[in-house]
Amino acid sequence: MATTYIRYGQQDRRRAPRPGFSGGSRFGAPARSGSSDRSFSNNRGPSRGFGNRGGGSRNGFGRGGNRNPGENIPVERFINKAEPVAEAAPYVPTHQFKDFPIDERIKRNLADKGYTLPTPIQDQSIVAVVEGKDIVGLANTGTGKTGAFLIPLIDRVISNQAGPVLIMVPTRELAVQIADEFRGFARTLSLRAALCVGGAGIGAQISALRQRPMFVIGTPGRLKDLMERRALDLSYFDTVVLDEADRMLDMGFIADMRFILAKMPAKRHTLFFSATMSKDIERLIGEFLKDPVTVSVRSGNTAKTVDQDIVRAGHGPQKFETLVGLLSDAKDFSKVLVFGRTKHGVERLARDLVHRGIKAEAIHGNKTHGKRLKALELFKKDHVQVLVATDVAARGIDISGVSHVINFDLPNSYDDYVHRIGRTGRAGKAGKALTFV
């Protein structure tokens, strides 16, 4: 297929024409598919459609009564040409992992994992954390924030400089990911970590807490539940990590966060990591931290390695056909994360993609913890081409090799957009983000 160049403003974009693109103007009409999917017949009756909370239209694809706040975001903000990866100047760290003032056993574990040079957030945070300083870490997603706090905190615990550590995160998936990283960093060190998240059996988590683990990793709701059951006593915990704090604020966890932190000693070591900074985040920093060291390695609102563009996709069946047309190019769209707005819409979209012969899984809040983990594993191991997700998957999940992020439904805010597209173009690799408008 011939390659065309489409000029957007003063930027040249290189793209092979595919269904749904404007064919020379981003404000043109979308391509129409010659076939129709019977699953979208009007005989199905009323339906919520994909991402529409109302259902308003007879065939299930009306806009409904609730307008998505994301429709107020200027479409120009979804368009940005990625900088060539090769042109990005490599970061030169001031340390190697072998140089950090941490236990030699941790260094051996890092070497076994192939870690030699730290990422910028790790390079600039680890020594300060080892020294017991409060930290505000600001970095684009996918830059190694987990290692920036786990590595030095493991050292502080085994050297008896710190007591038990609480790590609070917004989602189950991020908690599981941190627990997995912990096992690699702490291998051979006889340290226990308890994973405390909703959607999983609370009895097993209570049993794990009875073994007095030195690290507790959990989500605010489940942590509060365990505290109210008197299974978790935080008066002995002198270190807390608030990871993806901006997301916890967005998800309405602020009351739970305050409840949990109020049960910890007033004199504590607090690490605060966020991908964005806002007035609300600044207030939380002033409330929770004391004289923090700020480490900012953000390179802008969105990753420079992500090529961003829009697709004029229409509505309803036409929108779905546009998506199918893109995904049919499995060689280019090899590992795709598709974001929808609602749980039901995401589940239905994944099901209809499967009916069209595209290997897809869905992940959203209505799925059990086990089913969500299974869907993530299938996607990570390339057993499925497409993972359809609500914003529960937008932050903190590190899935390597995602070729594209497709915003099938508009995000509620630009911050949500930033975190969605941060799932591709990670660790300096190129990625693409397409937003249906």
The whole-number pLDDT of residue 216 equals 98
pLDDT reported for residue 299? 60
CATH of domain 4-86+304-436: 3.40.50.300
Tell me, what DSSP letter sits at residue 82? Answer: P
pLDDT the model gives residue 300: 55
Predicted confidence (pLDDT) per residue in 115-139, tens digit: 999 999 999 999 999 999 999 999 7
Residues of CATH 3.40.50.300 domain(s) within the chain?
4-86+304-436, 97-296
Digit-by-digit pLDDT tens for the chain (437 residues) are 333 323 223 333 333 334 343 333 333 333 333 333 333 333 333 333 333 333 333 333 333 445 677 777 877 788 877 665 545 567 788 999 999 999 999 999 999 999 999 999 999 999 999 999 999 999 766 788 999 999 999 999 999 999 999 999 998 888 999 999 999 999 999 999 999 999 889 999 999 999 999 999 999 999 999 999 999 999 999 999 999 888 888 888 999 999 999 999 999 999 999 877 878 888 999 999 999 999 998 665 556 678 899 999 888 899 999 999 999 987 899 999 999 999 999 999 999 999 999 999 999 888 887 888 899 899 999 999 999 999 876 555 678 889 999 999 999 888 788 888 888 887 667 889 999 98
- Evaluated on CA atoms 355, 360, 364, 370, the torsion sign reads positive
* pTM of full prediction above 0.75: no
What are the two backbone dihedrals, phi and then psi, of residue 284, each rounded to the nearest 5 degrees?
A: -65, -40
Residue 270 makes CB contacts below 8 A (sequence gap 6+) with 134, 135, 239, 240, 241, 242, 288, 289, 290, 292
Give pLDDT, residue 395.
Answer: 58
pLDDT at residue 393, as a whole number: 61
CATH hierarchy code of domain 97-296: 3.40.50.300
Residue spans of alpha helices (H) in 144-201: 145-158, 172-185
316, 354, 360, 318: which is closest to 338 by C-alpha?
A: 360
Give the pLDDT of residue 73. Answer: 82
pLDDT, tens only, 167-207: 999 988 889 999 999 999 999 999 999 999 998 899 999 99
